[in-house]
């Protein structure tokens, strides 16, 4: 699959490279695994030193990296280097004479190899950066660890980075463009399943495109297969984040994916206080988010939780929940459950699709959901333009025949009475509007 839609990011990375020729620049790139960080970096910098930090002995890593340096920079390194700090100092010294880009991928893995390395790098960086021409790119997939390394005041590299880029999933507009190029005959249902199952994560999109899996049936065949990347994906990507307590976190995420979205609901099932876990999932791991009714006051307890990532939502709802059948390789059993529940399950992703589509018009100051106490009078979309004092209130249904704008107006009476100076447009969005 060709490279898509990272023009802003490429432009930003190239401008950083230019600026580094005046004095060294340290940049951080974070984003969940499979999002396309490495592909972006390699596209931005065809000429570079690229180090991938795998979990191995530091001396062996240095041996691997030295070969890369000698080949890419056409230099000969004499003597024995078994500590990364020695290699890093050599490169910083070299960068005072010539400009180059150094990329260190999965940078957080140094924590398991040599914890003192970050202090060593900080001292070396501070000593050389003003006369260096190094463009240093530090990339990582374990969000919580990268956040700690660079944003915790107690850590040596705190405040050292000049730039931070958080790589996001492809937008709904990009997903449409990809389908238009690779499968022009796609239907709205195809677009919805493409969005629901991949969430715009570059690697999943690429797998579907390469396999020509553009409809729900083919996509599920690809996911539920003996050689599937997807079956262990949630476990492989999240256990490192969560550590020893991953089973509690997985239980919470499984409940949220199964529409048990309030804290009280989850605590009644798990029979324990989960406030600390929810806080970490939201603020440290960035895997869930709070959803409040639009216009809710700051301290309002009327809130729900959502999993941010579409694929993780699917994995916890269908793969983790039915892991016994998965272990037995009874994939047809789980596929049939997905097909049975898909129409209802995909409804909330149809709703989030239109949230994003409205956001990308850049016409609104805020977009959200609305509901009243006891989940009464739920409204799928409320979009506000504060400057122009106008409001769009919308209902989202797969089938346009099920949209009732009069009923929507009645549900919105309490909301619109508080904002009587706003002009209100009532709209219905369905599959055909995608």
| Strand, helix or coil for residue 383 | strand
Both 252 and 181 in a single domain? no
Both 248 and 318 in a single domain? yes
Per-residue pLDDT tens for 293-335? 998 887 777 889 999 999 999 999 999 999 999 999 999 999 9
Both 419 and 365 in a single domain? yes
Both 341 and 378 in a single domain? no
> Domain range holding 425?
359-433
Q: Which residues of the chain have pLDDT under 70?
A: 1-2
Both 316 and 365 in a single domain? no
**Domain count of the chain?**
4
Does residue 2 form part of some domain? no
Both 116 and 21 in a single domain? yes
Both 131 and 64 in a single domain? yes
Both 158 and 14 in a single domain? yes
Return the structure tokens found at 28: 């951080």
pLDDT at 240: 83
Strand order of the β-sheet with 100-105 is 49-52, 100-105, 134-140, 25-30, 163-166
Both 158 and 295 in a single domain? no
Both 14 and 149 in a single domain? yes
Does residue 154 form part of some domain? yes
Does residue 323 form part of some domain? yes
Does residue 320 form part of some domain? yes
Rg over alpha carbons for the chain, rounded to the nearest Å, is: 25
Q: Tell which residue, 378, 381, 429, has the closest CA to residue 403.
A: 429
Both 151 and 136 in a single domain? yes
Q: What is the CATH number of the domain that holds 141?
A: 3.40.50.300
Both 13 and 162 in a single domain? yes
Does residue 1 form part of some domain? no
Per-residue pLDDT tens for 338-377? 999 999 999 999 999 999 999 999 999 999 999 988 888 9
Q: Tell which residue, 159, 142, 118, has the closest CA to residue 30.
A: 142
């Amino acid at each position: 699959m060709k490279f898509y839609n990272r023009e802003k990011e490429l432009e930003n990375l190239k401008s950083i490279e230019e600026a580094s020729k005046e004095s060294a620049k340290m940049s951080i790139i974070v984003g969940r695994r499979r999002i396309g960080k490495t592909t972006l970096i390699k596209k931005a910098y065809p000429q570079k030193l690229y180090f991938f930090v795998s979990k191995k002995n530091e001396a062996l890593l240095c041996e691997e990296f030295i070969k890369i340096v000698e080949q890419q920079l056409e230099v000969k390194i004499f003597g024995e280097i078994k500590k990364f700090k020695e290699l890093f100092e050599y490169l910083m010294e070299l960068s005072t004479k010539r400009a180059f880009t150094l990329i260190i991928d999965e940078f957080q893995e140094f924590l398991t190899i040599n914890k003192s390395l970050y202090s060593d790098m900080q001292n070396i960086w501070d000593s050389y950066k003003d006369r260096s021409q190094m463009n240093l790119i530090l990339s990582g997939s374990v969000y919580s660890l990268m956040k700690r390394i660079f944003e915790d005041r107690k850590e040596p590299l705190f405040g050292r980075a000049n730039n931070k880029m958080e790589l996001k999933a492809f937008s709904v507009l990009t997903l449409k463009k990809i389908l238009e190029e690779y499968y022009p005959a796609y239907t709205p249902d195809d677009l919805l399943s493409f969005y629901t199952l991949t969430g715009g994560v570059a690697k999943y999109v690429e797998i579907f495109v390469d396999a020509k899996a553009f409809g729900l049936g083919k996509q599920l065949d690809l996911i539920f297969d003996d050689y599937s990347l997807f079956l262990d994906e949630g476990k492989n990507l999240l256990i490192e984040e969560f550590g020893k307590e991953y089973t509690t976190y997985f239980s919470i995420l499984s409940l949220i994916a199964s529409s048990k979205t309030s804290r009280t609901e989850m605590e009644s099932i798990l029979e324990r206080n989960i406030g600390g876990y929810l806080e970490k999932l939201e603020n440290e791991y960035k895997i869930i988010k709070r959803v409040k009714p639009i216009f809710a006051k700051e301290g309002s307890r009327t809130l729900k939780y959502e999993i941010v990532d579409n694929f993780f939502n699917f994995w916890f709802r269908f793969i983790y929940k039915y892991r016994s059948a998965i272990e037995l390789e009874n994939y047809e059993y789980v596929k049939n459950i997905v097909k049975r529940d898909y129409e209802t399950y995909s409804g909330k992703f149809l709703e989030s699709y239109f949230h994003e589509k409205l956001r990308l018009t850049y016409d609104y100051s805020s977009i959200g959901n609305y509901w009243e106490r006891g989940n009464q009078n739920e409204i799928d979309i409320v979009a506000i333009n504060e400057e122009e004092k106008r409001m769009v209130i919308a209902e989202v249904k797969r089938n346009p025949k099920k949209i009732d704008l009069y009923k929507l107006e009645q549900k919105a009476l309490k909301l619109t009475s508080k904002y009587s100076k706003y002009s209100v447009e009532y709209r219905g969005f369905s599959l055909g509007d995608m």
